[in-house]
Every structure is written in structure tokens, then in C-alpha cells.
């Protein structure tokens, strides 16, 4: 894939027996374009650039697309799985098992009631169709998690960062902890937040031995200790002036998180001091739906929103690669040496505006730290790269 170029993958309902390749560029042959908002990147065994996308259609034949990028030929290849359970609102990929995904979906029950459920989906070892006449691939195993007694809206299912058997489901105003046993996944604990009608979403903290789970509620952010359901470790009340939509944890700098919300502001917080954010940008013109730290170079942040844009931002001053304070001794050592390294300045680096609809998801590739995918509601997934001038400024 060439620098400063993008590849476009168009989701569509398949009406033929095609399983393998899609064009990397949308053409007039695209039929029955469907909506989508669920995007995830391959987390475990990150040797290949792979993204997962799922459709959100009222029709019963929803699909999950496994999209691989061949970097030598810049070609996209997809495998399409039937997802008959309902319209998909969120996907998460296991950091331990490359074949395991969690899907949160909505479906109609009793003819009138819309509920949200979640299932663990296991891909087969081989993604090649066994039968050339087979229209869609099938999951090797699908397990619907028993969350109905805790609420009707499952917002997300999150895999624990270090324990492959532990999961957390955000259901209404509860955080339900589950353990994957040999027979079935079972509930082992429940955090029932007081005075919180419904959470928006949540995420495990990468630190604190994996004992903290961070959840969003209205305009606030709260962290819970899963060992003590009644213990709120810290909270940021009124973190945004409007609803907080998403958060991410800095994988390289402890205590730092990023959040984005309906106020169009992206904020980085050090939750050791919850009174004030340490970095903020308001470059979006509408709601922010997704925010992500770069896994390797955490000064790079991605955000996407209802303004149809994906923004690449630098927050180097608060990253793990922040420039060190130069002392008088350092100045003496630099006398006669080459000019000091010029660090990437804080602020908006690049606006990616190829989308024509709200961009609900953005994810970095774990195989290539300079590559990322974004997904808009019209079913367009675009794979892009960090512009080379910023890449070289970070590396050199």
C-alpha cells in the first residue's frame, strides 16, 4: 500500500456465491449497500493487517466480514460469515485468541420488544469455504451469553487484557463479570452502579493488574474495582459538557485515558488528578463517536465523528515519548553537537474526509502501527496510513 493513499471496502449484501475477494475501490457494481457501525481490528497474533466489520440491517441476513490487506499488492480480500442473530452494534476482538470475537446485537422478541444481546463467535481454523456453492461461511462456534436477567441493553463485551477467560459485559446500569469455563461461560460477579440508570460503554484498564474497569455514564467517567463491587476507584464528573461516547486507555503511559463526546471535544486525562484534563482538542464539528491511542506511538490519536471526518492528532506533550526537560548540563553536552531533535508539535496533524456519512468507528492496525481503518454508517470502510512526513519525524 502506497504512502498517503487509502483503500476503500464497501459492505454489501451478497446475492451470489462469492466468498473471496472484493474490489479495493467501490464501483458501480456494488449492490444492496447496507449500514454498519461495528468495526474491530485483529488483536492476537498481529502478523497480518486484518479488520472485522459487521452489518447493521433490519433484515435477518446480517453479515460479518473478515477483511485482510495484502500489503505487497494493496489488494483487499474478504471472507463473509452469516450473522443471523441480529443487527450488530459493536464488535470486539480477543487479545488472546485470533479466532475469537464478541458481538453485541439487537433483535426483536415477542414481535414488539427490541432487546440487545451478546455472543462469543469463534472463527474456523481455515477461512476457505469447504463447498464452492456455499454462499456464506459459518462460525465454528457461537455462544450467546446469559445477560437477560441483568438488563435489556448490552452495550459492549470486553475481553480482559491479561486473563483469557475473563470478560465484562456492560448491561444497562450494570457491569457483569463472566468467566469462560470448559462447558459454558458463566456470570461470576456483578457491579450494580448506584444512581446510574444506564452506562454508555466501558473498557478494561491496561494497568492495576487488570482489576479496574472504566465505564461511561452520561457526561461522566467512573472506574470500578472488580474485586469490590461497591468501590468506585475514581470518577471524573462532568468530563464533557454533553454525553461521553467513547474512551481508550494509553497502553504505554499509566493513568492516562482519552475520551470523546457529543460536545465534539477530545480530552486526555490523568486520572490521578480528575479535576482538569491534561490535553484537549475541539476540531470536530459534531459528535465524536470513537477515540483511539496508537499502540506503539501513543502521541498519535485518532478520532471520528458525525461530521464524517477522521482526525489524526498529536498529543506528544502528554505521551510516553514527551520531550524531556532540558537542564543546564544537557545544554553543555549539546555544545558542538548537531541540532537537537525536532519533536512533532501538539495539535491537529491531518483530516481524512473521504467518508460521506457519520464515522462510527476507527481502529489502529496491530500489525502495522502506521495503518488504521475507519467505518462510516453507509458501509464504507477506508484503510489509511499516517502521512510519511509525520512518520519520519517520529522515527528520525
- Domain locations in the chain as residue ranges: 35-145
Residue 339: how many CB atoms within 10 A of its CB?
Answer: 6
- pLDDT, residue 4, reads 66
5-9, 154-158, 310-314: which has the minimum mean pLDDT?
Answer: 5-9
Helix (H, G, I), strand (E, B) or coil at 391: helix
Digit-coded pLDDT (tens) for 342-391: 779 999 999 999 999 999 999 999 999 999 999 999 999 999 999 999 99
- For the chain, report the end-to-end CA distance as a whole number of angstroms: 22
C-alpha span between 229 and 218 (Å, rounded): 20
pLDDT band at 128; cut points 50, 70, 90:
confident
- Grid coordinates in use for 256? 492516562
C-alpha span between 395 and 151 (Å, rounded): 48
Q: Say how far residue 388 (Cα) sits from the centre of its chain.
A: 24
C-alpha span between 188 and 34 (Å, rounded): 38
> Residue 288 in contact with residue 271, Cβ under 8 Å?
no
Please tell me which of 194-203, 306-315, 340-349 the model is most confident about, judged by mean pLDDT.
Answer: 306-315
- pLDDT, residue 32, reads 52
Mean pLDDT computed over 53-59 = 89
Question: Dihedral sign, CA of 207, 208, 210, 215?
Answer: negative
> Residue 383 in contact with residue 6, Cβ under 8 Å?
yes
Query: DSSP assignment of 126-157, as one string?
Result: --S-SSTT-SSB--SEEEE---GGG-S-EEEE
170-179, 317-326, 349-358, 379-388: which has the minimum mean pLDDT?
Answer: 317-326
C-alpha span between 217 and 245 (Å, rounded): 9
> Residue 349 in contact with residue 355, Cβ under 8 Å?
no
C-alpha span between 191 and 213 (Å, rounded): 10
Q: Please state the pTM of the whole predicted model.
A: 0.90
Digit-coded pLDDT (tens) for 33-52: 689 999 999 999 878 899 99
Amino acid at each position: 500500500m502506497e504512502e498517503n493513499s487509502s483503500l476503500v471496502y464497501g459492505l454489501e449484501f451478497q446475492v451470489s456465491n462469492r466468498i473471496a475477494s472484493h474490489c479495493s475501490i467501490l464501483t458501480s457494481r456494488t449492490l444492496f449497500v447496507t449500514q454498519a457501525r461495528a468495526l474491530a481490528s485483529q488483536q492476537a497474533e498481529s502478523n497480518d493487517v486484518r479488520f472485522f466489520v459487521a452489518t447493521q440491517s433490519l433484515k435477518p441476513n446480517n453479515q460479518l466480514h473478515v477483511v485482510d490487506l495484502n500489503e505487497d499488492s494493496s489488494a483487499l480480500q474478504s471472507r463473509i460469515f452469516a450473522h443471523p442473530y441480529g443487527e450488530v452494534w459493536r464488535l470486539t476482538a480477543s487479545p488472546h485468541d485470533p479466532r475469537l470475537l464478541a458481538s453485541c446485537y439487537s433483535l426483536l422478541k415477542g414481535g414488539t420488544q427490541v432487546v440487545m444481546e451478546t455472543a462469543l463467535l469463534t472463527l474456523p481454523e481455515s477461512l476457505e469455504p469447504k463447498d464452492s456453492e456455499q454462499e456464506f461461511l459459518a462460525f465454528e462456534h457461537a455462544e450467546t451469553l446469559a445477560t437477560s436477567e441483568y438488563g435489556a441493553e448490552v452495550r459492549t463485551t470486553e475481553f480482559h487484557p491479561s486473563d483469557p477467560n475473563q470478560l465484562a459485559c456492560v448491561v444497562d446500569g450494570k457491569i457483569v463479570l463472566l468467566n469462560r469455563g470448559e462447558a459454558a461461560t458463566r456470570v461470576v460477579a456483578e457491579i450494580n452502579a448506584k444512581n446510574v440508570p444506564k452506562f454508555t460503554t466501558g473498557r478494561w484498564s491496561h494497568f492495576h493488574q487488570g482489576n479496574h474497569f472504566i465505564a461511561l455514564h452520561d457526561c461522566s467517567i467512573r472506574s470500578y474495582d472488580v474485586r469490590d463491587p461497591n468501590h468506585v476507584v475514581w470518577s471524573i464528573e462532568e468530563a464533557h459538557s454533553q454525553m461521553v461516547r467513547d474512551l481508550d486507555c494509553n497502553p504505554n503511559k499509566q493513568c492516562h485515558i482519552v475520551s470523546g463526546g457529543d460536545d465534539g471535544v477530545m480530552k486526555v486525562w490523568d486520572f490521578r488528578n480528575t479535576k482538569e484534563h491534561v490535553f484537549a482538542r475541539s476540531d470536530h464539528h459534531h459528535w465524536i463517536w470513537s477515540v483511539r491511542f496508537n499502540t506503539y506511538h501513543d502521541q498519535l490519536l485518532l478520532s471520528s465523528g458525525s461530521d464524517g471526518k477522521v482526525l489524526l492528532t498529536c498529543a506528544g506533550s502528554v505521551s510516553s515519548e514527551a520531550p524531556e526537560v532540558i537542564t543546564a548540563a544537557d545544554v553543555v553536552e549539546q555544545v558542538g553537537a548537531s541540532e537537537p531533535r525536532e519533536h512533532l508539535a501538539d495539535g491537529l496533524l491531518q483530516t481524512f474526509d473521504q467518508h460521506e456519512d457519520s464515522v462510527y468507528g476507527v481502529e489502529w492496525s496491530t500489525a502495522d502501527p502506521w495503518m488504521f481503518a475507519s467505518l462510516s454508517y453507509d458501509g464504507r470502510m477506508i484503510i489509511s496510513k499516517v502521512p510519511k512526513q509525520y512518520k519520519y519525524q517520529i522515527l528520525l
